[in-house]
Chains A and B, each alone.
Chain A
């Protein structure tokens, strides 16, 4: 007997029997309505089917050409941050009841996912200091795009202000997102000494046409904005919404944006228990104040708490679906349907596991490591770290104008020594000179940072 396919339980024999019972001569009869002209009359040109063992061998060999940060010391961050993921977080998030379920359209049979997502929303709400967070977006960049569109819908205005010092990924994604309604995105400059957003420029740009003001805290280049209250006041005075972008780990230490006037908070939820995985899947955070004026304009899925119809038991279900595409069609607040729910599950379990002390502990280690690294690197002749005179969280700038080396050269010398240096900012911000963006997290030990400093000392010193 011919052996069947491992994932297709109806063997050829069973299929033939089914066809016979249905009075159908051949499987091809089920495709007879496809016009002759467009029937594919050859096999698809794909590699031959492989066994699981062969696929494992082939793919492990191919992927071994990648160099994970577990095999080399790395200081890359910039919008995706490697962190330790506790074993039980991974084990729970990989439970196949979560992994192989669909959007919880039948709440009675999907309470597990619904309650977990409600807990995710709740913990993000605590973290950012706002009442409402949705059940996830794709990532930070697309969440920012959606935030701009949300501001425009609420205010019926068409200008959106962003800082000049923002990651190119987020800036370009935002530009792409606002093409539809034709919003104008304008950049606000920064103070050359501290990196901070230029308040007077912001005030000058704020007019009756501004839908939203966006700032990042910590900023893309790692320094902290120290005048967020002033920015929030300025935005609100002009009738604009105040939107803050965050690395959620920093909120283990830093003041919640909701406490300094943020109307909307977006951010990258990846560091909350999700691996960096070459850029995705990540977790777009999207939160807002509890006012219904805002909530009704929010994109994405929301899970709410309710009771059973007979009233006795607490339960959870999707709510305010009239904002969404499957009900509202072209008048929906967004087209988003499939989101990144499983990444939100990981984030919920991660945050529940860390608690306030744990998250504070992780954030402190990230910041303390950066602080130590800046001190060590800045002591090296020809190097400056950071370039801005401001408090930093876990990322910072390293400038090598004082050497005769370009930042790319410096990075490639480091790579030769098995260290992945920072992100070169030369193309992104040429005015900053030969500068890179480096990141430390709790994964870095003191010895790791000492090693970076020693290697840099040698590279730069050997040059003199």
Chain B
């Protein structure tokens, strides 16, 4: 093990500024002046002034201080950090994608509409739904859209006033609660049973004629497939509610089972997880949703339709029961191009192989780590998991005082990104590990060895964990202060001086003084 991230003392771009510098050249000005009264014009603009080589060096250095899938293993649970094929980036960068305007005449965007139409069909087949919309910009946006469709459905049936509750398991992703609330529902939480599944008795008690929907991810956030799923769908449907599928955890079941066949009415996808479009440091993603035939009428406008006779794709706005629009145009088209390419590259066989291998890799880590002192499974040990596995580091904490966070930070020193930790909340000292199918076995072995070594370190040299990470661009930050006295921009920073070392020169001087 030998890892060291780049460690530049890189000032803010504002601190590189000198009057008169620029990184662009512009075409000659039109002889017509600007015809805007002076009182509407601004007097000054506080942007930095830097040259092109400086901009390039600055952001290249910053990029070198950023962990990514292309840098190494990224087993962040529920985030499906799989490798993103480069060809997808190349295709999304074509001029026939980037230079096409969303309001161009239909005749000039037939390729884009065809891609949308076909991608919808492929995605519908993968999860077993009737129709898909590609509009939502991210997973949570898809959830919000799904909840608005739930509302529209109950309104259509004359039960909008009555059906005000959405049921969410205690192990759910945080977005589920927030999306339901944003659509105006109140949230009812159901507990998990001893095996990490939805507690069926509690669910029976929770449903009523107020139930609008249940939001569920299966496999759940423990990585376990809820084998009582058909009982769950019966209970919710029996009470008149809809079933919403959170697609964050789809990667372990593609080609093996389909949410639509489980009885879900609304299914969302995270194209930036399962379908390998990159995460871009937090986005852009894409969160399409698929629905049953009964719910198609509520999908956002416009819907892409195909006129076979004219061999012509078109945008259909004439959908009176639609929930409306959830963003400006038709979704993150540049992201959709990558997902479409990925599905063609994988085919049915490839997607199934991905799901099987992702599941195998997670189980491999589970088996290798099971019995290692310091880590344990809280729920249903021994049962196979799917795309991810959640260990508890509670035994190690009891024994040595080291927390899941300490372990996660120390993993960074081993050249591995931390797993998701402290989630799901039903597992104390949780380490949520999702290896995906794109890691070689050697990497999985290295990860397990690192966790073993860290458990040993927690006993022999606990200081190494408490002060980790050491090999990253920077050590642990004062996150409490960052939120208590927030400095959110250069403007605020300038006002708050001199609480903070301000320039690289000062930082270096202070560092020297300290050492």
Query: B65–A106 contact, CB under 8 A?
Result: no
B13 contact from A6, A281, A352, Cβ within 8 A = A352
A253 contact from B23, B41, B112, B487, Cβ within 8 A = B41
B27 contact from A34, A252, A442, Cβ within 8 A = A442
Q: Complex Cα distance A351/B13, Å?
A: 11
Among B10, B347, B351, chain A packs the most CB atoms within 10 A around the CB of: B347
Q: A380 near B: Cβ within 8 Å?
A: no
Q: B308 near A: Cβ within 8 Å?
A: no
From known contacts A121-B488, A391-B37, infer whether A92 and B32 are also in contact, taking CB-CB under 8 Å.
Answer: no
B279 contact from A103, A107, A280, A353, Cβ within 8 A = A103
Q: A409 near B: Cβ within 8 Å?
A: no
* In the complex, chain B residues 227-262 whose Cβ is within 8 Å of any chain A Cβ: 227, 229-230, 253-258, 261-262
In the assembled complex, which residues on chain B have CB atoms less than 8 Å from the CB atom of A79? 103, 328
B74 contact from A39, A102, A111, Cβ within 8 A = A102
Query: B255–A307 contact, CB under 8 A?
Result: no
Closest 8 CB pairs between A and B?
A279-B329, A49-B347, A342-B280, A112-B66, A281-B284, A279-B102, A68-B99, A341-B282
Q: Complex Cα distance A55/B92, Å?
A: 12
A38-B258, A102-B76, A278-B101 given. 7 additional CB < 8 A pairs?
Answer: A33-B227, A47-B122, A86-B52, A96-B68, A103-B282, A104-B281, A279-B331
- The contact string, 1 if C-beta is below 8 Å from chain A, for chain B 475-515, is 11111011100111111110000001100000100110010
Query: B14–A68 contact, CB under 8 A?
Result: no
Query: A98–B63 contact, CB under 8 A?
Result: yes
Q: A1 near B: Cβ within 8 Å?
A: no
* B181-189, B202-210, B394-402 - the one binding chain A: B181-189
Chain A residue at minimum C-beta to C-beta distance from B328? A141
Q: B81 near A: Cβ within 8 Å?
A: yes
Query: B230–A35 contact, CB under 8 A?
Result: yes
Q: Complex Cα distance A65/B110, Å?
A: 6
B439 contact from A9, A98, A277, A375, Cβ within 8 A = A9
Q: B47 near A: Cβ within 8 Å?
A: yes
Query: A131–B489 contact, CB under 8 A?
Result: yes
Q: Complex Cα distance A420/B434, Å?
A: 48
Q: Complex Cα distance A330/B417, Å?
A: 29
In the assembled complex, which residues on chain A have CB atoms less than 8 Å from the CB atom of B61? 112
Query: B34–A98 contact, CB under 8 A?
Result: no
Query: A319–B282 contact, CB under 8 A?
Result: no
A15 contact from B108, B329, B343, B357, Cβ within 8 A = B357
Q: B323 near A: Cβ within 8 Å?
A: yes
Query: B491–A32 contact, CB under 8 A?
Result: no
Q: Complex Cα distance A307/B437, Å?
A: 37
Q: Complex Cα distance A143/B180, Å?
A: 19
In the assembled complex, which residues on chain B have CB atoms less than 8 Å from the CB atom of A262? none
Q: A402 near B: Cβ within 8 Å?
A: no
Query: A335–B175 contact, CB under 8 A?
Result: yes
Q: Complex Cα distance A264/B457, Å?
A: 50
Q: A186 near B: Cβ within 8 Å?
A: no
Q: Complex Cα distance A454/B217, Å?
A: 60
- The contact string, 1 if C-beta is below 8 Å from chain A, for chain B 104-138, is 11011111101100000010011000000000011
Q: How far is the CB of B37 from chain A (nearest CB, A)?
A: 6
A-B residue pairs in contact (CB < 8 Å), sample of 15: A10-B361, A10-B437, A40-B258, A67-B108, A79-B328, A88-B23, A109-B67, A115-B10, A126-B490, A127-B45, A279-B330, A280-B335, A281-B137, A352-B23, A358-B23
Q: How far is the CB of A450 from chain B (nearest CB, A)?
A: 11
Q: How far is the CB of B450 from chain A (nearest CB, A)?
A: 15
In the assembled complex, which residues on chain A have CB atoms less than 8 Å from the CB atom of B125? 44-46
Q: Complex Cα distance A367/B237, Å?
A: 58
Query: A280–B332 contact, CB under 8 A?
Result: yes
Q: B474 near A: Cβ within 8 Å?
A: yes
From known contacts A315-B477, A332-B178, A372-B32, infer whether A8 and B437 are also in contact, taking CB-CB under 8 Å.
Answer: yes
In the assembled complex, which residues on chain A have CB atoms less than 8 Å from the CB atom of B199? none
* A155-163, A193-201, A208-216, A295-303 - the one binding chain B: A295-303
* B139-147, B288-296, B371-379 - the one binding chain A: B139-147
Query: B97–A277 contact, CB under 8 A?
Result: yes
Q: B459 near A: Cβ within 8 Å?
A: no
Query: A281–B332 contact, CB under 8 A?
Result: yes
* In the complex, chain A residues 5-48 whose Cβ is within 8 Å of any chain B Cβ: 5-10, 14-15, 18-19, 22, 24, 27, 29-35, 37-40, 43-48
- The contact string, 1 if C-beta is below 8 Å from chain A, for chain B 62-88, is 111111111100101001011111010
In the assembled complex, which residues on chain B have CB atoms less than 8 Å from the CB atom of A221? none
Q: B472 near A: Cβ within 8 Å?
A: yes
Query: B261–A358 contact, CB under 8 A?
Result: no
Among A40, A86, A111, A360, chain B packs the most CB atoms within 10 A around the CB of: A111
In the assembled complex, which residues on chain A have CB atoms less than 8 Å from the CB atom of B514? 312
In the assembled complex, which residues on chain B have CB atoms less than 8 Å from the CB atom of A52? 85, 87, 345
Q: B433 near A: Cβ within 8 Å?
A: no
In the assembled complex, which residues on chain A have CB atoms less than 8 Å from the CB atom of B230? 35, 37-38
Q: A379 near B: Cβ within 8 Å?
A: no
Q: A321 near B: Cβ within 8 Å?
A: yes
In the assembled complex, which residues on chain B have CB atoms less than 8 Å from the CB atom of A22? 363-364, 367
In the assembled complex, which residues on chain A have CB atoms less than 8 Å from the CB atom of B47? 123, 126-127, 351-352, 354-356, 359
In the assembled complex, which residues on chain B have CB atoms less than 8 Å from the CB atom of A182? 184
Query: B27–A365 contact, CB under 8 A?
Result: yes
Q: How far is the CB of A319 from chain B (nearest CB, A)?
A: 5
Q: How far is the CB of A362 from chain B (nearest CB, A)?
A: 7
In the assembled complex, which residues on chain B have CB atoms less than 8 Å from the CB atom of A86? 23-24, 52
Q: B159 near A: Cβ within 8 Å?
A: no
Q: How far is the CB of B292 from chain A (nearest CB, A)?
A: 15
Query: A126–B42 contact, CB under 8 A?
Result: no
Q: How far is the CB of A88 from chain B (nearest CB, A)?
A: 5
Q: A417 near B: Cβ within 8 Å?
A: no
Q: Complex Cα distance A314/B176, Å?
A: 35
Q: How far is the CB of B411 from chain A (nearest CB, A)?
A: 9
Query: A44–B115 contact, CB under 8 A?
Result: no
